[in-house]
Amino acid sequence: VKSGGRGAYRLFDQAMRERQAMRRLIERDMHLAMEDGQFVMHYQPQIDLASGKLIGVEALVRWRHPERGFISPVEFISVAEESGLIGPLGEWILTRSCLDAAQWGGIKVSVNISPVQFREPAFAAKISRILSETELFPWLLDLEVTEGVLISDTEKVLDIVLLLKKLGIGLSLDDFGTGFSSLRYLQKFPFDKLKIDRSFVRDINSDVKDAAIIRAAISMGRTMGLRINAEGVETEDQMDQLSAMGCDEVQGFFYSRPVPAEDIPALIDTDFPI
């Protein structure tokens, strides 16, 4: 038993070391990747369930590594946050997304903002500068934040949020339902949109509890004047159920995977199934 325990520990230790080595590689390569243009933005369509039209897209960053192929943002965003690279990377993501959206004439772009980025000094001023540099109307930009952004320094964060709202941009609460105290934040911060996490959408047709949570979120959001987006819609049955519940908009593989910017114009006049 004792040696088994040590064996298990050795395995764990080795996995930890490999993980750390991987993170160091990612950190080292990220500097180069920025200059070399290895990051690209993809955009996932957001469909209005009332009209079946494209109303916006979520901007999702991809890293095309020359040797390791596509690396998931789940792997490199946290490394970027820890190493300080999220500053320049986040600015590039925002600029690229706003430049692309400015070409689409009326389609909104939602950009994910990490907690570290949000707390940068003069974050609101940076957004304002990027909007004027890219000539994007502020109402076409939406920032997606998770509870992680709001959890500490609440008053300071509220000040930043109010500055952003004054610019006229939209604010969405991402991954709703996965945290611990979303309801307090919904009351305190002036969100425009609530994004229901895909873990609730997955079993919406079979799990009465997941369905009940979504129904409650939609009802509450409606009362608070929020738009409701459901993520991770993969089947027509999920879409039908969400539509029947009064969900405003959806995104997911049923409609489209995230696609390159040049694929978006063709989707603007498409009638999606609703």
| Nearest distance, CB of residue 61 and ligand C2E, angstroms | 4
Question: Per CB under 5 A, does 175 bind Ca ion?
Answer: yes
Nearer residue to ligand C2E within complex by CB, 104 or 146: 146
Comparing every residue's Cβ against ligand C2E, the nearest one is: 252
- Residue pair 238/210 in contact (Cβ under 8 Å)? The answer is no
Nearer residue to ligand C2E within complex by CB, 9 or 198: 198
CA dist., res. 45 & res. 87, Å (int): 26
**Burial class, 59, CB count within 10 angstroms (exposed 0-12 / middle 13-18 / buried 19+):** buried
Nearer residue to ligand C2E within complex by CB, 61 or 267: 61
Binding span for Ca ion by CB under 5 A among 12-20, 61-69, 110-118, 220-228: 110-118
CA dist., res. 127 & res. 136, Å (int): 11
Nearer residue to ligand C2E within complex by CB, 107 or 113: 113
Nearest partner of 175 among 121, 231, 220, judged by Cα = 231
Binding-site partner at residue 229 among Ca ion, ligand C2E, none, CB < 5 to 8 Å by type: none
Helix 2-36 to helix 86-102 angle, to the nearest 10 degrees? Answer: 50
Question: Per CB under 5 A, does 144 bind Ca ion?
Answer: yes
Binding span for Ca ion by CB under 5 A among 79-87, 105-113, 147-155, 220-228: 105-113
**Between vectors from CA 119 to CA 113 and to CA 123, what angle results, nearest 5°?**
75
Q: Would you tell me which residues interact with ligand C2E (CB under 6 A)?
A: 44, 59-61, 72-74, 77, 93, 112, 114, 174-175, 198, 232-234, 252-253, 258
At 93, list the tokens: 């993501």
| Nearest distance, CB of residue 124 and Ca ion, angstroms | 20
Using the 8-state DSSP alphabet, how is residue 264 labeled?
Answer: S
Question: Per CB under 5 A, does 174 bind Ca ion?
Answer: yes
Nearest partner of 113 among 100, 103, 104, 123, judged by Cα = 123
State which of residues 44, 46, 97, 112 lies at the interface with Ca ion (CB under 5 A). Answer: 112
Residue 55, number of CB atoms within 10 A of its CB: 18
Interface residues with Ca ion (CB under 5 A)?
112, 144, 174-175
